[in-house]
A and B are shown apart, each in its own frame.
Chain A
């Protein structure tokens, strides 16, 4: 699923810097808070980002992800806390004095300059000699496949081309860190998918550290080596895309990333390597494959992804993680079908099944069915 996390060398993922306690982070964000008047946009965020990562900040609007990005770029100064880039404290450094470049959501291309002049702008500010500048601009335009467009003005380009100019301009100075604010937000769906691959390709080729802000969870899953999920100014979870999806640590993350069935209940048994949760909503006992935080009797929720639930007419052999209900709705989408099952408690459960087999006798509306899932599929969420 994730493009970027796919290791180029077998076993590379095992040596990922964030799993290595000795690795030195490239960017350290320590207890950063940003207040606008009384409004707390970013609330005590600490985050380590490693060299050559493609880190995605994922969150809804107003979650503080853009503010955090703007603080890295230097457009905003933290109210408290510190930002270090390669061990250097960035406090008080203006945007033009940072080894950081940004690709703006609106692209912010200079309308009175040609594509080549736009790309050359940063180099010009650094006093790069003309010959080298021209060479670097040509190289950048080649990279984003816009070589023939150097003499055009931004308004003569399509949306996708403008996006690539913005990328080339931001990368021309070879920044240590590239910030991308909703880089694909303005593109249509098909172009977005193509561009995702290109972006990851460029990042892998250059090895630049990328930090992407997005509200699109699919985009984050596709691009990122790691995702930081933000909510109300705080980072609720940081992890590889797979980790975030499979082991969400809070109700918010579970709901924000993908579809999920949430069963509210109480801890019945809290063992060493397992737990049992009694859920009235589910009308059954749910077994979790690990010890959960909290004491017996504490409220807790169990999250199960729709595609992890199996459905049948006959009750399965196991006694735990078995629910029963009636098929209320089916939507056939070709590759997959979505089912909505109504449990005795009135709770609706969503199930996704791949349409691999051609059933002679498919399960249909109003049928009574049994639902079950393997113990490792359930995730207990206390927060």
Chain B
């Protein structure tokens, strides 16, 4: 890319150079840039930036803000970049998934971010604009007090903590249940394997909400379990399971189990059986072999499964709302209340962004570390 490429629509990209370098390993893994193609990466980031701003323009309150001019400028930039990218076959291939990601992940994220730095207003929409244009001055007004508020109010910290605790415990329980299942499926005959996998995936074909509702029928005082135990005479009084944390764990483990089983299954299925034979041959019994060979080699699957369960479980709203105690403060619930009951869009957005950063940062770091060890291979 010549210097000319850095001017005009992609001007912002020049300032992003250190960023590009920091992001390079991540982009590399995403297939965005390869080695010497950092230039491609820069242009793509330029494109991303332009597109993001364009998207924000599209999604924001139409025509009201003075920022529209700025949005339009970047939109023009986007159009030019698109032209460049689409005329280059190789970049085009990369650009398609990128555009998908931008459209359905980054754009909504930016809208939420924009709202999170706004001030709550009693208006339509209920928050202040980011860009204002008055008397020849362009002003960017970012209110950071929402984030400050999050840190000051115990309420939010408690909610975060509860969410993370419940998600972590559920993830661990999920792993305990899923590992033997995945192991058994991976070890079964190929004819059985497909059937078993099918059974794992099958619940996904019915509505998630219905399946969680079904658990009420199983767990409630007048539910299947209690009726059965009372019929057996094991108990006289029903065991209270509904509206307890136990029910929340059951619901989360049940709902997210396939997400844990599938990545575990793929790593366990790939495991070379002769490694276990070699381990046995060298004197390790079945348990030792499992701990020193199977478990470490299935670690990528364990991590993938845990991430897949933990992340959605943190933000889970439906399961605690239906099965959990009414005083469970999970972040999903808080978000709902702020957004729909309190109509406090900025604070709700700040809650969401903080959560996202809190979850994404360790994952990015982890991915980077993992990527580096993989490159060593």
Contact = CB atoms under 8 A, between A and B. Distances in A.
Contacts of A74: 280-281
Contacts of A108: 272, 274-275, 277-278
A125 B275 contact: no
B280 A121 contact: no
A73 B377 contact: no
A96 B293 CA distance: 15
B191 interface: no
A304 B282 CA distance: 46
Contacts of A121: 279, 282, 284, 292
Interface size classification for chain A: 20 to 34
A75 B277 contact: yes
B288 A125 contact: yes
Contacts of A170: 281
A220 B136 CA distance: 92
Interface stretch (A98-106, A273-281, A324-332): A98-106
B79 interface: no
B285 interface: yes
A170 B283 CA distance: 11
B377 A153 contact: yes
Given A94-B280, A125-B288, A110 B293 contact: yes
Interface size classification for chain B: 10 to 19
Given A74-B281, A108-B278, A155-B377, 16 more contacts: A73-B277, A73-B281, A74-B280, A95-B277, A95-B280, A96-B282, A96-B285, A101-B281, A108-B274, A108-B275, A110-B275, A110-B278, A121-B292, A122-B282, A126-B283, A173-B282
Interface of A: 73-75, 94-96, 100-102, 104, 106, 108-112, 121-122, 125-126, 153, 155, 169-170, 173
Q: With a 10 A CB-CB cut-off, give which of B280, B292, B296 has the most chain A CB atoms.
A: B280
A173 B281 CA distance: 11
B130 interface: no
B297 interface: yes
Contacts of B377: 153, 155
Nearest to B283: A125
B274 A125 contact: no
Contacts of A96: 280-285
B282 A104 contact: no
Contact of B282 (A75, A155, A169): A169
Nearest to A101: B281
A102 B281 contact: yes
A209 to B, nearest CB: 16
11 contacts: A75-B281, A95-B281, A96-B281, A101-B281, A102-B281, A106-B274, A108-B275, A109-B278, A112-B297, A121-B284, A125-B282
